[in-house]
Amino acid sequence: MTLIKSISGIRGTIGGRVGENLTPIDAVKYAAAYGTWIKQQLNKDSYRVVVGRDARLSGEMIQNLVMQTLVGLGIHVIDLGLSTTPTVEIAVPLEHADGGIILTASHNPKEWNALKLLNAKGEFLDAVEGAKILALAESDAMQFAAVDDLGKITKNAAYIDIHIDSVLDLKVVNTDAIAKANFKVVVDGVNSTGGIAIPLLLERLEVEAVKLYCEPTGHFPHNPEPLKEHLTDLSEAVKKAHADFGIVVDPDVDRLAFVDENGEMFGEEYTLVACADYVLSKTPGNTVSNMSSTRALRDVTEKHGGTYEASAVGEVNVVDVMKKNNAVIGGEGNGGIIYPESHYGRDALVGVALFLSLLAEKKMAVSELRKTYTSYFMSKKKIALTPEIDVDALLVAITEKYKNENLTTIDGVKIDFADNWVHLRKSNTEPIIRVYTEAKSQELADTLADNMIAELHAIVKAW
């Protein structure tokens, strides 16, 4: 079906033809290219790479292929087994490793998997380094180790606990207030590794956890992207349990969304807004999110006297702008929290601890907390790519049409109108054009998106 090579890693569907899908041969090819890149960074006697995976059905197969390929290159592997993306990110520097690989396709359905690639800091590779790996994959530069120089695999199942320890050690996490609040929370782990990590974190915080889909079987009970239309079971479970709120994460636990005590979505865009509100109240400073994220983060940042900046979409881009602007917190509007005091990566465990701290100190219901933030409404739609759609030409045409508006073109085209905005961009993870809008009502946001989609189709039809 699909093999996508981008800043977000090597992502594809399982099965099918080599080079068109994420087949075993493709997994070996790109793991070998990554391992070769690692060895080219430094001339040393020994190399180490951390590898972990989410619970999706193809995970064990892909992980074994990747690890044994690295062994064949003479690279030692620290095998975390079932893990989370932020856990692997934390493990890389703690293990003094030269890099890391997470086997996960994030929010994609079960037929997908991916190799997400990290550098020695436990951060995602930038576009320049990613391009080097893609070039190596098509070259004859990969040289494997002789039999006496093969790498070894060491298993380490302790890192989820180590990750939780690091979250609890964060100065801004108010463990005492959380414990005294006697929270009751429903957790939807989408039958992946969030079902392991989030309940363990809540237990350590003395929060009662009601588990929903927390068995790491890889059989996702609903579409794993944490959007409202996929979370009806969680909403019902929160109401039935008379819980304070509900938590849902994606399969690799770097995205986080909440459901309030009435079973209504808090809004994944507002996960970052709420966590930033709490962090900024303790440590005022600057924030960053990507161009497709809500204006509400800007509002909260300015309320605390800080400066907000927008980056291109993609975690590595957000991190780059965060470092340049000394941001104290940032992330993406898809529920991704990046808190540098922990590490430069989206982390749902950190997000849960920050959100609980905020609630415990505010002493208000989740629905009431949501009312304290400016209400913006987003529409997230998409257009499937077909052979006749030239994305670059399409974006040029839109840029020309709206040239007198406030335009940003660092990542697709974003048109900032006075009271709303539209962002068009080609996805890094799916063969689609994303059409994101934000306005002061859902009806206006949806209408804005539908009108833009109609304009795009009209342009294509005119070709």
CA distance 157 to 50: 12
Whether residue 427 is found in the same domain as residue 287: no
Q: Are residues 265 and 391 in the same domain?
A: no
Weakest mean pLDDT among 6-15, 162-171, 302-311, 332-341: 6-15
As for how many domains the chain has, the answer is 3
Nearest to 343 by CA among 102, 124, 96: 124
Mind listing the pLDDT tens digit for each residue in 82-108?
999 999 999 999 999 999 999 999 999
Under 8 Å between Cβ of 337 and 329? yes
CATH number at residue 218: 3.40.120.10
Arithmetic mean of pLDDT, 180-202 = 98
Chain position carrying tokens 């989740």: 366
Q: Are 312 and 410 in contact (CB under 8 A)?
A: yes
Which own/partner contact pairs does 144-152 have at CB distance under 8 Å and 24+ positions apart?
144/32, 144/72, 144/73, 144/74, 145/72, 145/73, 145/74, 149/74, 150/71, 150/72, 150/74, 151/47, 151/70, 151/71, 151/72, 151/73, 151/74, 151/75, 151/76, 151/77, 152/71, 152/76, 152/77
Please tell me whether residue 380 adopts helix, strand or coil conformation. strand
Separation of alpha carbons 293 and 168, rounded Å? 28
Nearest to 339 by CA among 259, 249, 256, 429: 256
User: Locate tokens 């690091």: which residue?
Assistant: 166
Do 135 and 181 belong together in one domain? no
Write down which residue in 128, 156, 184 finishes a domain.
156
Query: Could you tell me how many residues make up the chain?
Result: 463
Domain boundary among 327, 342, 371: 371
| Beta bridge pairs of residue 292 | none
Residue 454 sits in a domain whose CATH number is 3.30.310.50
Q: 68: which 2 tokens?
A: 């044994």
Q: Are residues 187 and 274 in the same domain?
A: yes
Q: How far is CA 238 from CA 184, 242, 274, 356, 422, in A?
A: 9, 6, 20, 16, 34
Rounded Cα–Cα distance for residues 2 and 431 (Å): 8
Looking at the fold, whether 54 and 125 belong to one and the same domain comes out as yes
pLDDT bracket for residue 1 (50, 70, 90): low
Which residue range(s) make up the domain with 72?
A: 3-156
Both 152 and 169 in a single domain? no
Which residue, 371, 392, 422, sits at the end of a domain? 371
Same domain, yes or no: 148 and 273: no
Whole-angstrom Cα distance, residue 434 to residue 395?
12
Co-location of 64 and 128 in the same domain: yes
Of 297, 438, 332, nearest to 106 by C-alpha is: 332
Of the candidates 106, 166, 192, 379, the residue annotated as catalytic is 106
Give the model confidence (pLDDT) of 413-463 as tens digits.
999 998 899 999 988 777 889 999 999 999 999 999 999 999 999 998 887
Considering the domain architecture, whether residues 152 and 167 belong to the same structural domain is answered as no
Q: What residues have CB less than 8 Å from 45, skipping those under 6 apart? A: none
The dihedral of CA 362, 366, 369, 373: what is its sign? Answer: positive
- CA–CA dist 19, 3 (Å, integer): 7
> Among this protein's residues, is 441 annotated catalytic?
no
Same domain as 438, residue 309: no
Strands (E), 45-175: 48-53, 76-82, 99-103, 112-118, 153-155
276 Cβ neighbours under 8 A, 6+ residues apart? 287, 297, 300, 301, 329
User: Residues 399-403: what's their mean pLDDT?
Assistant: 94
- Residue 8: is its pLDDT beyond 80? no
| Of residues 423, 403, 408, the one with CA closest to residue 332 | 423
For the segment 153-189, what is each residue's pLDDT rounded down to a tens digit? 999 999 999 999 999 999 999 999 999 999 999 999 9
Same domain, 383 and 330: no
Same domain (yes/no): 168, 298: yes
pLDDT tens for 319-361 read 999 999 999 999 999 899 999 999 999 999 999 999 999 999 9
